[in-house]
């Protein structure tokens, strides 16, 4: 199997002129690596010397140690000695690159591994960086990386006006099937984020590829994204964050395990299995999270086993889990009502799904088929619009 070359490798090979003589920062974390697991910061510092002046860190920090929605402060990178500026602090303003950090730069390089779901906040960090570049004039250089769950399937609703947030910064489908390079092209053309943009495409990547077909090594891009299996279920599994269900944080199988102390695992699994969803098996499971929701308590639920990832529809499966959990959890199930990603005036589930429509449908007892029909037009519109920005 021939190996895919990431945008980082392309930059360091035939496209070095893109950064030659420029002062730049890099947005990177622990997954920003080349073959041999050499980190991008080390490679960029070796290739461009004092041109690399600082590191910008997304949610979870440059080392990926911080848990979800944990504020990260300013540090200094112990290996390079470069200052690290956090783009995920204690308030919403911290999500945007400050002028003091970009005014002395010619470019900001973006080299983060996405997971193919709209909620993953690295995409919002890209959008906010492009907005800053639009307003201040520096260049954004996107080093493309694979969409780990493939670039073909599109699934789920977009984001309605008024429901944009850090987990839905632009009106794209939940499973968008784009690479970050393609996303940046769409942002520039359709989302008011036109800026000095340079995308360095991968070499050898094809749209039907999953990450384990690229020849690249998986490095967990965030603390609860340990494997490709996690990324496969995540377009539906992240929905559990908008409820009082445990999404399996605090276990070794986050987003694959879902449940609560008040669910009966056998009954829960049976009801989900009766829906006849393709490419997935819901196995009754019990688990005890070590942290996060229900830490130290026994939870009943299911483990989501993907039996055929080509037929599996993760967003549909996630909606099914929420629908059945609400039906079986009378008096216990609830939507998350605390502040979520710096938003307190709308429910987290609505931010994740992009509107109130799905939540209202679940509350009204609509069938899974009817719920699914509600996002089909969004999928069709997005599939048509995204075709203009494909690189592969």
Could you give the domains of the chain? 7-219 (3.40.50.12170), 228-355 (3.90.1150.140)
pLDDT digits (tens, 9 = 90+) for 278-306: 999 999 999 999 999 999 999 999 999 99
- DSSP summary character for residue 3: P
Lowest average pLDDT, out of 62-66, 106-110, 331-335, goes to: 62-66
Q: Quick one: residue 390, left, alpha or beta (phi over 0 = left, psi -120 to 50 = alpha)?
A: beta
Cα distance between residue 248 and residue 45, in whole Å: 38
CA distances to 76, 330, 384 from 390, rounded to whole Å, are: 37, 45, 11
The string of pLDDT tens digits covering residues 377-391 is 999 999 999 999 999
Q: What is the pLDDT of residues 180-225, one digit of tens each?
A: 999 999 999 999 999 999 999 999 999 999 999 999 999 999 999 9
Give the helix/strand (H/E) hosting 371: helix 368-373
Predicted local distance difference test score (pLDDT) of residue 1: 59
Confidence label for 64 from pLDDT (cuts 50, 70 and 90)? confident
Q: Phi first, then psi: give them for residue 185, nearest 5 degrees.
A: -65, -40
Alpha-carbon distance of 55 to 50, in angstroms, equals 13
Residue 13, Cβ density class (10 Å: 0-12 exposed, 13-18 middle, ≥19 buried): exposed
Distance CA 27, CA 145 (A): 14
Question: How distant, in Å, are the alpha carbons of 16, 181, 236, 325, 338 from that of 222?
Answer: 29, 20, 17, 27, 22
């Amino acid at each position: 199997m021939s190996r895919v070359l990431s945008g980082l490798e392309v930059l360091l090979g035939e496209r070095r002129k893109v950064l030659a003589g420029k002062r730049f920062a890099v947005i990177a974390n622990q997954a920003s690596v080349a073959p041999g697991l050499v980190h991008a910061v080390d490679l960029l510092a070796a290739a461009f010397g004092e041109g690399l002046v600082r590191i910008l860190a997304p949610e979870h920090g440059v080392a990926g140690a911080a848990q979800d929605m944990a504020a990260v402060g300013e540090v200094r990178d112990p290996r390079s000695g470069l200052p690290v500026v956090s783009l995920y602090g204690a308030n919403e303003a911290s999500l945007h690159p400050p002028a003091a950090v970009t005014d002395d730069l010619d470019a900001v390089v973006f080299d983060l591994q996405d997971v193919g779901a709209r909620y993953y906040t690295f995409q919002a960090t890209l959008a906010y960086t492009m907005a800053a570049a639009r307003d201040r004039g520096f260049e954004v250089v996107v080093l493309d990386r694979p969409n780990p769950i493939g670039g073909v399937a599109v699934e789920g609703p977009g984001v309605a006006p008024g429901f944009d947030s850090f987990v839905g910064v632009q009106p794209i489908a939940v499973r968008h099937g784009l690479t970050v390079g393609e996303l940046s092209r769409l942002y520039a053309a359709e989302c008011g984020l036109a800026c000095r943009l340079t995308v360095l495409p991968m070499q050898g990547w094809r749209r039907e590829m999953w990450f384990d077909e690229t020849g690249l090594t998986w490095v967990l891009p965030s603390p609860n994204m340990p494997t490709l299996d996690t990324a496969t279920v995540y377009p539906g599994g992240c929905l559990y964050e908008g409820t009082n269900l445990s999404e399996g944080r605090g276990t070794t199988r986050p987003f694959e395990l879902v449940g609560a102390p008040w669910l009966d695992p056998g009954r829960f699994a049976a009801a989900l299995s009766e829906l006849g969803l393709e490419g997935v098996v819901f196995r009754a499971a019990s688990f005890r999270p070590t942290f996060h929701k229900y830490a130290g308590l026994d939870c009943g639920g299911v483990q989501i086993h993907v039996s055929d990832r080509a037929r599996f529809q993760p967003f549909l499966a996630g909606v099914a889990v929420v629908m059945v959990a609400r039906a079986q959890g009378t008096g216990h199930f609830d939507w998350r009502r605390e502040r979520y990603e710096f938003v307190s005036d709308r429910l987290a589930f609505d931010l994740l799904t992009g509107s109130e429509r799905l939540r209202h449908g679940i509350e009204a007892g609509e069938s899974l088929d009817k719920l699914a029909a509600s996002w089909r037009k969004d999928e069709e519109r997005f599939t048509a619009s995204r075709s203009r920005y494909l690189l592969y």
